[in-house]
Structure 1
């Protein structure tokens, strides 16, 4: 698999991580601009609460809903994510850069096609759920893969009252049953609470 034009990354970063058939894989996507301890906490919480075998950090070339004017180069972001996500069961990939799309729905559809024997769970912070209804083909995401939402500072109420949460209210399971998610037919999701980490990519970019 060749690197796309103007993406200077080792081939290893552009490949999908190895996993055995039946493995429970958490998909944690984002621009991670920059990555911070709050991201790590979301990944660790999902890993433990959903009983995942691995968490794949999917570092996107660019979030379609965000301004790219202050977006750090993909090379530097994936290097920073790799250092933050140093864990025996966490993997980092810029596979999305090979697809020619940054839309989550397309990425998930491709992963399900390429790795049909894996049990995927989409991971997101509560702040992402609050705006999830603005994502392209968001319903196909919710109906294509189970989702685990991790609480984030100041986002609980907005997330749980958001259009996506209301639309799929009947598909929500108790957070104590989060380890069932990899085995459930979507739509299926849960909201898990944890110690809140106030770190923010926006604040870090602004020097706060």
Structure 2
């Protein structure tokens, strides 16, 4: 895990990043700026239980690509989940919380993931561990109204004008951040690379 100190505000941005692209970098930059984070952990996962692993590039390659995709020194590319043999996000967040007392964390996700969030293992537990910032993605803008997660935790939604204090809120708390969007997609990039 990257080094942090008590009192820091840290964003957790996880994914397979297969491959990472400008859309991922944009989500990270928006989160850093709008949430006023000290750091953002770009967490490259060993795998995704909801996706096929046959098209998954080796972890070392995805880490290298992620490091090449980010320039901001506040972004820390890490793959600690592999070292701890953690598979599910709920377990990752529990581990982070236990090992970093006094650090304020917020889970960062693209709006495209919000639509399927209720299929994640123990998704209610995830929403109750750390605040969540959902960053707009093309084709997913209305997910903050229509997703199961948004409806379930409607009472915990913070206005995006208060985004900078989200990391100080007790979970469940979440917000939807509108802003510039990138049409890049890992799926489309892989499709173009296929013979």
Establish whether TM, by shorter chain, passes 0.5.
yes
- 1:191 partner SS: strand
Residue 72 in structure 1 maps to residue 61 in structure 2: no
- Rounded to whole Å, the distance in 2 between the matches of 1:20 and 1:112 is 13
Residue 48 in structure 1 maps to residue 33 in structure 2: yes
The correspondence of residues 17-36 of structure 1 with structure 2, limited to 5 A, is 17-36=2-21
Counterpart of 1:185 in structure 2 is 170
The correspondence of residues 145-184 of structure 1 with structure 2, limited to 5 A, is 145-184=130-169
Structure 1 residue 158 displacement after superposition: 3.4
- Rounded to whole Å, the distance in 2 between the matches of 1:156 and 1:183 is 25
Residue 201 in structure 1 maps to residue 186 in structure 2: yes
Give the TM-score normalised by the residue count of structure 2.
0.97
Which structure 1 segments of 5+ residues have no match?
A: 1-15
- 1:33 partner SS: coil
Spell out structure 1 runs of 4+ moving beyond 6 A. Answer: none
Residue 57 in structure 1 maps to residue 19 in structure 2: no
Q: 2:114, 2:149 within 8 Å by CA — same for their partners in 1?
A: yes
Structure 1 residue 110 displacement after superposition: 0.2
Q: How many aligned residue pairs are there?
A: 193
Superimposed CA distance per residue, residues 92-118 of structure 1 (whole angstroms, 9 cap, x where no aligned partner)? 111000122220000000000000121
- 2:85 partner SS: coil
Which structure 2 segments of 5+ residues have no match?
A: none
Q: 1:130, 1:160 within 8 Å by CA — same for their partners in 2?
A: no
Counterpart of 2:94 in structure 1 is 109
- Rounded to whole Å, the distance in 2 between the matches of 1:112 and 1:203 is 35
Counterpart of 2:81 in structure 1 is 96
Q: State which of 124, 129, 134 in structure 2 corresponds to 1:144.
A: 129
C-alpha distance 47-126 of structure 1, shift in aligned 2 (>3 A): same
Q: State which of 116, 122, 133 in structure 1 corresponds to 2:107.
A: 122
- 1:92 partner SS: strand
Structure 1 residue 196 displacement after superposition: 1.3
Q: 1:127, 1:159 within 8 Å by CA — same for their partners in 2?
A: no
